[in-house]
Amino acid sequence: MATILLTGGTGMIGTYLQQYLTGKGYDVIVLIRDKTRLQQKPINPKITYAGWNIDDGFIDKNAIAKADYIINLAGAGVADKRWTNKRKKEIVESRTKSCELIAQALKEMTNQVKVVISASAIGWYGNDGDNNKTGFTEDAPAANDFLGVTCNQWENSIKPVEKLYKRLCIFRLGIVFSKSGGALEEFKKPMKRGFAAILGNGKQVISWIHIDDLCRMFLFALEHENMKGVYNAVSPKPVTNKSLTIQLAKQLRNKFFIPVHVPSFILKIMLGEMSIEVLKSATVNCDKIKKAGFTFLYPSVEAALENLNKK
C-alpha cells in the first residue's frame, strides 16, 4: 500500500487523520519536530515517525524517499496565543518555512511523490459583503487583514512543487468540528456552567466542516487524479454563531441554559486583534469540491453536532 508523509500530524486534525488513513490501508510517516517524541514507537504498526527541523532546513531523506503522497498541516496554532507581533511572525513563518522546506526537499532529494495536499484556511477571505449569499468561491481575492495576508503567503510558499510536476491541492479549511479540541470545545466551555455565549450580535456566519468529512476529503483528493488547485474545505450549510450556539446548548443541556450575548467590545479587550476573526462573517462556498464528486456525510450542523456529541 502507498505511503503518506504527514506534517503537523500530532495536532488536532493530524492525530485523527493518521488513524483514518491507516484504517484505509495506507502507511503513514508522521514528520515531527520533537526529538524526544522521535524515540517513541507509535502503537499503530502502520505509523512511523521521522524528524524534521524547519529552522535548520533539515528533513529526513528516507521519509521523503518512501513517500508517495504528502499531506501538510504544519503551523503554529492561530488561536492558541494572543497575536503579538512575535506570535504573528511565528504563525506566518511556521507555515511558509515548512512549505519552502518541503518544496526544496522534493526538488533536491530522490523521491516518488505524486501529490501534495497542503492546508490553508478560509481566513483567506474577508468579511461577507452585502451580496455574499452564495459564498466566497476559490477565485475570490485574499483579504487584507492578518489572516488573509498569511494565507496568501502560505499558499504561495507551497506552489513551487507544481513546477516539479507534482499534483498540488490546497485546501482552505473551514472551522473544523471534532469530538476533542478545536473550536467546538471552546464553544462548549461556558455551557458547562449553563451559559450559551453568543459572540457579538451572533449574526456572523461560520463556515465549518466535520472532521470525518475533512479526512474523507483529503483521501478523496489523493485518490482523484483530476483534482488540483485550491478547494474550499467547508460543509454546504454554514451557520450563524447564534444558531450554532443555541443548537449546541440544546443538545448538551436540553432546556437548562441561559443565552448570553458577549458584546464585541469585551471580545476585543479579551482577544485583541484576533477578535476580528471571531466576529467576522465568512460564508464560504463548497461547490467546487462537490463538482469534483465529493459528497458530505455531515452537510448540516444538526447532524454534525448530533454525531459529535454522541457519547
Q: Which residue is nearest to ligand NAP (CB)?
A: 11
Closest CB to ligand NAP among 9 and 135? Answer: 9
Distance CA(178)–CA(307), nearest Å, equals 10
Residues 78, 197, 217, 304: which binds ligand NAP (CB under 6 A)?
78
Cα R_g (the chain), whole angstroms: 19
Using an 8 Å Cβ cutoff, are 5 and 64 in contact?
Answer: yes
Residues 59, 176, 191, 234: which binds ligand NAP (CB under 6 A)?
176
Distance CA(161)–CA(69), nearest Å, equals 12
Strand duo 27-32 + 47-53: pairing: parallel
Q: Does 190 bind ligand NAP (CB under 6 A)?
A: no
Q: Does 219 bind ligand NAP (CB under 6 A)?
A: no
Residue with cell 479526512: 215
Q: Does 118 bind ligand NAP (CB under 6 A)?
A: no
Distance CA(293)–CA(227), nearest Å, equals 10
Residues 4, 6, 12, 158: which binds ligand NAP (CB under 6 A)?
12
Residues 175, 284, 289, 301: which binds ligand NAP (CB under 6 A)?
175
Residues 101, 103, 115, 119: which binds ligand NAP (CB under 6 A)?
119
Q: Does 143 bind ligand NAP (CB under 6 A)?
A: no
Q: Which stretch binds ligand NAP (CB under 6 A): 72-80, 140-148, 195-203, 247-255?
A: 72-80
Question: Which spans of this chain sit near ligand NAP (rule: CB under 6 A)?
Answer: 8-14, 32-34, 54, 73-78, 90, 94, 98, 119, 121, 173, 175-176, 182-183
